[in-house]
Amino acid sequence: MKCTVCRGPAVIDLRRHNANFCGDHFLKFCRDQVERAVRHHDMLAPGDRVLVAVSGGKDSLALWDLLVELGYDAEGMTIGLGIGDYSEASTAAAVAFADDRGLKLRRVDLRDEYGYDIPTAAAVTRRVPCSSCGMSKRHLIDAAALEGGYDVVATGHNLDDEAAVLLGNVLHWQTEYMGRQAPVLPARDGFPRKVKPLVRLGERETAAYCVLRGIDYIVDECPMAEGNRHLRYKEALNSIEAASPGTKHAFYFEFLDKAADRFRPEVDDAQAGLQPCARCGSPTTAEVCAFCRLVERTAGAEPVPVELLRAGRGRGRRRSGR
Ligand code: SF4
Ligand code: ZN
Ligand code: ZN
């Protein structure tokens, strides 16, 4: 297998681009794809202060590395979710990456600062862990970006993520979510601008990027992800992609070009009802926002170990690990 650009030995084949690349040309390909996404969707301006949401996984560390490589002023933020060994290893990977490169990493720990962790929140609310986890992460990163005076929040959502979310939204006709599924969300009252510069790269590519750049990322999936629908949608899309390379890209980008705007009015209607949370001032449709309500509900709750929560969930579900 030869590199499509230089004819040297290739290290990766990208069927949807009908190309193979050596290490150097693959790294260039990744930088080009990010630059292209940034330019096409008008994500970042020179001099922007960027806050990167960092989990310690391949996508967020590749994103941070790529943004720094491309010359952006990018700092990181990581949140201690309290999901046992997984969270400890994730935080350690983020800290090691930042320390090695002399980059600034903001750290927040849910248990230390807000008195709960994700397994306990899931047990108290009796909802899937990803529900309180996603909401907590969004709330804290938005708040940190506004307080810290950042121009924009960058997240590591890649093409596989976006296509899987779109498939889930289409399967359930969640049209308001479809209207919000853009690679750029503009700033609004109480919300920072948000961008997804990795939308042109798949997760196999972000993993390869990390390996070639010598980035140590946490390989294990979050143990709370077992059985979640998002992973099933990814598997379904992967089998279609294997038979028909390029389908994921077409599904997502054609949606953006041809359909996303049709659902904008629903988003605008939903946002018209927002008001500041009575406790923290964040935008919410209720008197008190979901984050403040979660902090109140979990106050004083006995911490729930991850193992206990997992034992009580879906015995016999498929493992999601690689
Ligand atoms: Fe949070 Fe769910 Fe992701 Fe785990 S899989 S980090 S619980 S959103
Ligand atoms: Zn080459
Ligand atoms: Zn609040």
Q: What is the dihedral of CA 165, 168, 169, 171, to 10 degrees?
A: 160
Comparing 132 with 307, which gets the higher pLDDT?
132
> What's the token pair of residue 37?
């996404």
pLDDT at 228: 83
Does some domain include residue 318? Answer: no
pLDDT digits (tens, 9 = 90+) for 285-301: 999 999 999 999 999 99
Does some domain include residue 124? Answer: yes
316 pLDDT higher than 80: no
CATH number at residue 89: 3.40.50.620
Phi, psi (deg, nearest 5) at residue 275: -145, 165
Does some domain include residue 140? Answer: yes
Comparing 119 with 313, which gets the higher pLDDT?
119
pLDDT at 2: 97
Does some domain include residue 28? Answer: no
Q: What is the DSSP letter of 237?
A: H
pTM (predicted TM-score): 0.93
Task: State percent of the chain over pLDDT 70.
Answer: 96
Nearest CA to ligand 1 atom 7: 130
- Please give all residues whose CB falls under 5 A of ion ligand 2, grouped by chain where several chains appear: 3, 5-6, 8, 22, 25
Q: Is the CB of 50 under 6 A from ligand 1?
A: no
Nearest CA to ligand 1 atom 2: 130
Ligand 2 center–CA 58 separation, angstroms: 23
What is the atom index within ligand 1 of the atom nearest the CA of 118?
A: 7
Question: Where are the strands (E) in 65-212, listed by range?
Answer: 73-80, 105-109, 152-154, 184-185, 193-195
309 pLDDT higher than 60: yes
Q: Is the CB of 79 under 6 A from ligand 1?
A: no
Summary mean pLDDT of the chain: 93
Residue 97 domain boundaries: 38-220+229-310
Does some domain include residue 15? Answer: no
Query: To which residue do tokens 């992973």 refer?
Result: 231
Q: What is the DSSP letter of 4?
A: T
pLDDT bin (cut points 50, 70, 90) of residue 141 is very high
Q: Is the CB of 53 under 6 A from ligand 1?
A: no
Ligand 2 center–CA 217 separation, angstroms: 25
314 pLDDT higher than 90: no
Does some domain include residue 62? Answer: yes
Shortest-distance ligand to the CA of residue 284:
3
What is the atom index within ligand 1 of the atom nearest the CA of 129?
A: 7
pLDDT bin (cut points 50, 70, 90) of residue 312 is low
- Domain count across the chain: 1
Which residues, in sequence order, are CB contacts of 76 under 8 Å at separation 6+? Answer: 51, 52, 53, 54, 60, 64, 94, 97, 98, 103, 104, 105, 106
Q: Is the CB of 141 under 6 A from ligand 1?
A: no
pLDDT bin (cut points 50, 70, 90) of residue 170 is very high
Does some domain include residue 133? Answer: yes
